Structure 1
């Protein structure tokens, strides 16, 4: 039997041997049977047809030297080379497939026919030449696809508005695109070989820590940093670190893509601020105040840390609105908030619940008299006239206070207790302070 006929008759057995080898290749481990065999059957049949084609001595010499007649049609070997590049096969893996195909055919052929007839040797010679030709065509197509990919990738990197750079395993730059150079206000040669530490970036320590984690775990990482570069660009940035793996799945570098998110971040912060702060005074609103109070109550329960809530209502404020107008009233509220902030520490919270009602969270006051001193300083500060354009304005304040203790059940209960205590203070006249007592709630209920 001629080799061409043998290939056609035993093609399934040949492909089974070849498929078993292809499965051992890293890029082929997770491919389906059809994906592994894709063009192998067609290549074998094309080789068989070539073996059946008469060949002159001149053609044989030319072919043995790799001078195959030019053909405008794409061969199955070329198709295979392009497909393997797309599938992520390396050059060596692609060549190995052809070696395995050659070995499978020769092995099966020699097992079936142990004779050394002249036509056997001629067929084998032509078969080896055909395989060599297929390897050359496949690699040429593979190289063409690789070169195009490299050009396209280079064009994408050049045109990208986002800084993209590659770092070696020590965190030194080995590639930086134009956007990176523009952002850093440096020439590419001034960047290559340097680390973020070398370039003096304040976020270098955190960045290097995250880089080392990506290298150790071979996972991606998303992070953020705040910095304005020498170019004057940006303030808030997010970045993605991703490992670059070689053919043995060992990490050989890390690619970083960063993006300026300053406008987005500031817009989000503005939205959050407006949703959680009083637009007139800039103080935390009811929502933010209740959230902070909830956290402080939980902290007090865990750590037994003193906590007090002050509920303040302005006396005589309605008359300001009625006589001087709402613009004057709004200005008084703004000045009141400024005075309240000066009466407490930075770690305390001053909030406006609405209208002329203000609340304060005091943390860490060890004794009741300490809280009373703060409340009295507020009373005194509010009593000082407010100098508006029209005339000096005199108002006063009533303050109710609730203290955290082992009977406190919730932040809402603590706020309500301070509210009821403020009601008691208001009934006593202007400039009064009242601490919540257990019976106050019953008195309020009977009064209403």
Structure 2
């Protein structure tokens, strides 16, 4: 049996052990330790604090202090950047031949394709690598090798305003027909936006994917080739146009001009009956006294086969040659306590089997359990394709046209699909 096959077999066995709580907490000690003299690692990380505070900085400062105490030969310098800037700044650093040792950002595929990154198996111990949730491992692969290490994740269930539902005498929907019926009743009861459908350029690619999955489609097919204008996808957008948008159930702003941020703000102000939500929305809604109900986004006739998952990534760059030291640090990052601390503080989901199991049982994380339930079977956007950035931008700019009065979903999806196929061929 060759080494690659043996490693995959061991990873599978270790993942099963992790699911049973049998894996030991890893500290990064041992063969990946910092035994090559004093080394300073540079880490660039994204800021997750929604309130302008310093919780992300404090998290990394505390983690680094604990790590350095265990690894006296390794120092870690951390730079925290806003999500508006972090991907661009790392790109500029790499282009200037000043790559960081570690980056925690939104995408990895271009760097993997360029040969800039260490593979996961070059950095992580086998138990740590095997502990990642399966959909996140697959999404972190470029050409069947994992380079993107999932840092935090989320899923997007259907959120509804419990007070508005109670006032209208309706229950949480379990199918598309029930969802449309609930939206009609909300409208009749004076709700300004029965269903917020943000297909504007901020995050339309994600909102669209949630609906495509609930309709049995997706951006790609079973062979991981783009299938943007599949029959299932066209039927999904035909339904949205006819049954939600066309009946005036998506509010006063056209979906193609509605961004997620504005939709979330309207929801926390009590103006929206339903939308596809994000874990961070729970805290904001609670602050304004909005009681939130959560269920999986319904499928055509019941629960869909898969929900959408989202992950942010952390990766190790080769340029400075600090493989062992980067590995030691990342093994430490993925200990249960560190994974749970960051995910819990930011209303996000842990990326490992063992940390997810702990979150499911800890009462302080009860609000996140509906998200946890769907994550293991979730489907992520095709972030392992170098073409995805271009395709995603095309979706953001154009998918909203599919539900305009003059729009034809088959034409809009067909146009996006042709660009996607051409970009895929150029990879």
TM-score range, shorter chain: under 0.3
- Normalised to the residue count of structure 2, the TM-score between the two structures is 0.22
**TM-score, length-normalised on structure 1?**
0.21
Q: Which has the higher contact order (CA 8 A, sep 6+)?
A: 2
